[in-house]
C-alpha cells in the first residue's frame, strides 16, 4: 500500500512539473502570437483597406471613363442597321380603271397591290463632327473633372493618414496611462509592505497602514479602467485601418511616449524615432520650429481641400464655357449607304440582283441655334452662379486654412515647450520620491510625505506623456492642414 501511495505521489509531482513547464513555454509562444503594429504599418494597412479610399478610387475610375466618353463626341460615329419584314397580307390601293383600260368607266376603280411578300433593308451611316465648340469645351471639362477626382483620392488618403495617426497616438497615450498606473500600484504596494513591517516593529502607526491600503484600493480600479481604455482606443485604431475591432487584444503598439525625445530626434530609440517621423513631427516647418506664414503659403498649394476647391472653380468655369458654346453653330459631315430588296413567295435572302436596289448619299449639315425660349440663356446664368459660388467657397477655405495653420503652429510651439518643461518636472518628481522614500525608511519622514511624493511623480509622468501626445497630435494636424500628410503609393494606385 505504501508503495502504491509513493508511486501516485511521484506521478502527481511529475504531472505538476510537466504542467509548469508547459505554462512556462506557453507564455512566450502566446506573446509571439501578438502582432506588433507600428504606425508605419498601420498607415499602410489603412491605405490598403480603407472603405472611404476604395470609394474615392472608384470615383476616379468613373472619371477616366467619362473622359473616354467625351472623346467619343469628337471621333467618327459609324452605325449599321438591317431589317426584314414579311407582309402577311400585302397592302392594296384603288386606282382608276382608265389607267389600265381606256374604255373603262371614269368612276370605275380597281384594286392594285403595292409591295411584296418579303422586304429586306440594310444600311451603313457615318458622321464626323467638323466643328462643335461645345464638344471641345466638354473635353476640357471632363479632363478637369478627372483631375478633381484624382485630387479627391489624394485628399481621402491624407484624411485616412491623419485619422490613423491620431487614433494610434490616442492608443499610445492610453498605454502610458496603464503603464504609469501599474508602476504607481507597484510603488504603493512596496511602501505598504514596508509600512506593515515597520508597524509590526512599532515604528509606524496603524493609521499609516490604513492610509496606504486606502490609496492602493483607489489605484487598483484606476488600473482596470486604464486597461479598458487602451482596449477601446485599440478598437478605434483597428476600425480606422479597416480591421476587425474584436482583435484588439491581439496587437501591441510600437513606441513609448514617455521615452520620446523631441529635442534630439537622433537620441531616440529606433522605434521612437520612427514614431516621430511617421507622426509628422519632422514634416512641418524647419528644424521643429514651424513658420506660420511659410506653412500657409505651402498649404495654399499643397492642401488637398484647397486644391479641390480650386479645381472645382476651374470645372465650373469649363461648364459655363460649355453652356455658352451652345450659341455657336455646329458643322457635321455625314454619309450613308442603303440597300433594299423585295421579293414574293418563299423568302430568299435579299432576292436576286434585279430585285435589289441601293443608294448612297453624302453631305454637310449645319445647325444654327436661333431661339429656344430663353432656356439657353437661363442655363448660362445658372452656370455663372455656380462659378461665383465655387469661387466664394475657395476664398472661405483659404481663410479657414490661414486660421488653422496659425492656430496649429502655436499649438506645436507650445507643445514643444511643454514637453521640455514636463521632462524636467518628471526628473524633479523622481528625485523627490527617492528622497521621501529614503527618509521614510530611515524614520525621518512621514507616510504622508511619501504618499504625496508618489502622487506627484505619477502625475508628472503622465503630464509628460500627455505633453508629448499633444505635441505629436498638433504636428500631425498641422501636417494635414499644410498638405504634408502622407498619401502613400498604395493609396494612389
Nearest Cα to Cα of residue 310 among 325, 320, 300? 300
Nearest Cα to Cα of residue 161 among 473, 469, 411, 480? 480
Residue 64 and residue 77: Cα distance in Å, rounded? 21
Spatial neighbors of 150 by CB under 8 A, at least 6 apart, are 60, 63
Evaluate the CA torsion angle 131, 135, 141, 147 in order and state its sign.
Answer: negative
pTM: 0.74
Task: Tally Cβ neighbours within 10 Å of residue 87.
Answer: 14
Residue 286's φ and ψ, nearest 5 degrees, are -135, 130
Evaluate the CA torsion angle 314, 320, 323, 327 in order and state its sign.
Answer: negative
The DSSP bridge pattern shows strands 330-343 and 356-367 to be: antiparallel
CA 387 to chain centre: 28
Residue 123 and residue 399: Cα distance in Å, rounded? 62
CA 419 to chain centre: 31
Cell of 293: 506664414
Placement of cell 500500500 in the chain: 1
Residue 352 and residue 350: Cα distance in Å, rounded? 7
Query: For 35-73+132-328+372-482, which CATH class?
Result: mainly alpha
Cell of 291: 513658420
The domain segmentation of the chain, as residue ranges, is 35-73+132-328+372-482, 85-131+339-368
Phi-psi region of 269 (alpha: psi -120 to 50; beta: other; left: phi over 0): beta
Looking at residue 241, the DSSP 8-state letter turns out to be: T
Placement of cell 467625351 in the chain: 70
Cβ atoms of 465 and 258 within 8 Å: the answer is yes
Spell out the per-residue pLDDT of the chain, length 493, in tens.
444 445 545 554 555 545 544 444 444 443 446 788 888 898 998 888 888 888 888 988 888 888 888 887 888 889 999 999 988 888 888 888 888 888 888 888 888 887 788 898 999 999 988 887 777 787 888 888 888 889 889 989 999 999 999 999 999 999 988 888 888 888 888 878 877 887 787 777 787 788 878 888 888 888 889 889 989 999 999 999 888 888 888 888 888 888 888 888 888 888 888 888 888 776 443 344 578 888 899 899 889 999 999 999 998 888 888 888 888 888 889 999 999 998 888 888 887 878 888 899 999 988 888 888 888 889 889 989 999 999 999 999 999 999 999 999 999 999 889 988 888 898 898 888 888 888 877 777 776 787 788 788 888 888 898 999 999 999 999 999 998 888 765 444 5
Cell of 48: 490598403
Residue 179 and residue 230: Cα distance in Å, rounded? 11
The DSSP bridge pattern shows strands 35-37 and 251-253 to be: parallel
Cβ atoms of 160 and 50 within 8 Å: the answer is yes
Residue 266 and residue 277: Cα distance in Å, rounded? 11
Nearest Cα to Cα of residue 356 among 122, 166, 130? 122
Spatial neighbors of 191 by CB under 8 A, at least 6 apart, are 212, 437, 440, 447, 450, 454
Residue 229 and residue 78: Cα distance in Å, rounded? 66
pLDDT of residue 443: 72
Residue 181 and residue 420: Cα distance in Å, rounded? 22
Cβ atoms of 482 and 405 within 8 Å: the answer is yes
Cβ atoms of 155 and 308 within 8 Å: the answer is yes
Placement of cell 515597520 in the chain: 198
Spatial neighbors of 480 by CB under 8 A, at least 6 apart, are 158, 159, 161, 162, 280
Residue 388 and residue 401: Cα distance in Å, rounded? 20
pLDDT of residue 30: 39
Nearest Cα to Cα of residue 298 among 408, 147, 387, 156? 408
Residue 398 and residue 309: Cα distance in Å, rounded? 10
Amino acid at each position: 500500500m505504501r508503495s502504491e501511495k509513493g508511486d501516485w505521489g511521484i506521478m502527481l509531482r511529475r504531472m505538476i512539473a510537466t504542467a509548469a513547464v508547459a505554462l512556462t513555454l506557453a507564455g512566450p509562444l502566446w506573446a509571439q502570437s501578438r502582432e506588433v503594429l507600428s504606425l508605419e504599418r498601420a498607415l499602410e494597412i489603412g491605405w490598403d483597406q480603407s472603405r472611404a479610399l476604395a470609394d474615392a478610387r472608384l470615383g476616379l475610375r468613373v472619371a477616366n471613363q467619362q473622359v473616354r466618353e467625351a472623346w467619343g463626341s469628337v471621333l467618327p460615329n459609324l452605325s449599321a442597321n438591317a431589317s426584314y419584314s414579311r407582309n402577311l397580307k400585302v397592302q392594296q390601293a384603288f386606282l382608276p380603271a382608265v389607267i389600265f383600260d381606256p374604255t373603262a368607266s371614269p368612276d370605275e376603280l380597281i384594286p392594285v397591290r403595292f409591295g411584296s411578300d418579303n422586304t429586306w433593308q440594310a444600311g451603313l451611316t457615318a458622321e464626323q463632327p467638323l466643328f462643335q465648340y461645345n464638344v471641345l469645351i466638354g473635353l476640357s471639362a471632363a479632363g478637369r473633372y478627372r483631375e478633381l477626382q484624382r485630387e479627391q483620392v489624394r485628399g481621402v488618403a491624407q484624411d485616412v493618414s491623419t485619422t490613423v495617426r491620431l487614433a494610434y497616438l490616442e492608443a499610445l497615450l492610453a498605454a502610458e496611462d496603464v503603464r504609469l498606473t501599474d508602476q504607481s500600484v507597484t510603488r504603493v504596494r512596496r511602501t505598504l509592505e514596508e509600512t506593515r513591517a515597520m508597524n509590526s516593529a512599532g515604528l509606524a502607526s496603524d493609521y499609516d497602514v490604513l492610509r496606504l491600503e486606502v490609496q492602493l484600493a483607489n489605484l487598483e480600479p484606476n488600473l482596470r479602467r486604464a486597461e479598458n481604455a487602451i482596449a477601446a482606443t485599440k478598437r478605434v485604431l483597428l476600425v480606422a485601418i479597416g480591421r476587425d475591432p474584436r482583435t484588439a487584444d491581439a496587437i501591441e503598439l510600437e513606441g513609448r511616449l514617455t521615452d520620446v525625445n523631441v529635442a534630439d530626434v537622433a537620441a531616440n530609440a529606433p522605434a521612437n524615432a520612427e514614431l516621430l517621423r511617421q507622426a509628422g513631427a519632422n514634416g512641418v516647418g524647419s528644424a521643429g520650429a514651424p513658420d506660420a506664414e511659410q506653412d500657409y503659403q505651402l498649404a495654399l498649394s499643397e492642401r488637398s481641400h484647397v486644391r479641390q476647391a480650386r479645381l472645382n472653380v476651374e470645372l465650373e468655369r469649363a461648364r459655363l464655357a460649355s453652356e455658352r458654346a451652345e450659341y455657336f453653330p455646329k458643322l457635321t459631315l455625314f454619309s450613308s449607304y442603303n440597300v433594299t430588296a423585295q421579293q414574293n413567295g418563299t423568302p430568299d435572302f435579299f432576292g436576286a440582283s434585279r430585285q435589289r436596289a441601293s443608294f448612297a448619299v453624302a453631305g454637310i449639315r449645319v445647325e444654327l441655334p436661333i431661339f429656344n425660349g430663353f432656356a439657353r440663356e437661363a442655363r448660362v446664368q445658372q452656370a455663372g452662379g455656380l462659378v461665383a459660388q465655387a469661387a466664394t467657397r475657395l476664398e472661405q477655405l483659404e481663410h479657414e486654412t490661414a486660421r488653422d495653420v496659425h492656430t496649429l503652429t502655436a499649438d506645436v510651439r507650445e507643445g514643444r515647450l511643454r514637453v521640455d518643461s514636463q521632462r524636467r518636472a518628471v526628473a524633479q518628481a523622481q528625485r523627490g520620491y527617492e528622497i521621501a522614500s529614503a527618509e521614510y525608511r530611515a524614520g525621518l519622514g512621514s507616510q504622508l510625505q511619501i504618499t504625496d511624493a508618489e502622487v506627484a511623480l505619477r502625475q508628472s509622468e503622465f503630464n509628460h506623456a500627455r505633453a508629448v501626445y499633444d505635441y505629436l497630435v498638433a504636428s500631425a494636424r498641422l501636417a494635414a492642414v499644410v498638405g504634408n500628410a502622407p498619401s502613400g503609393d498604395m493609396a494612389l494606385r
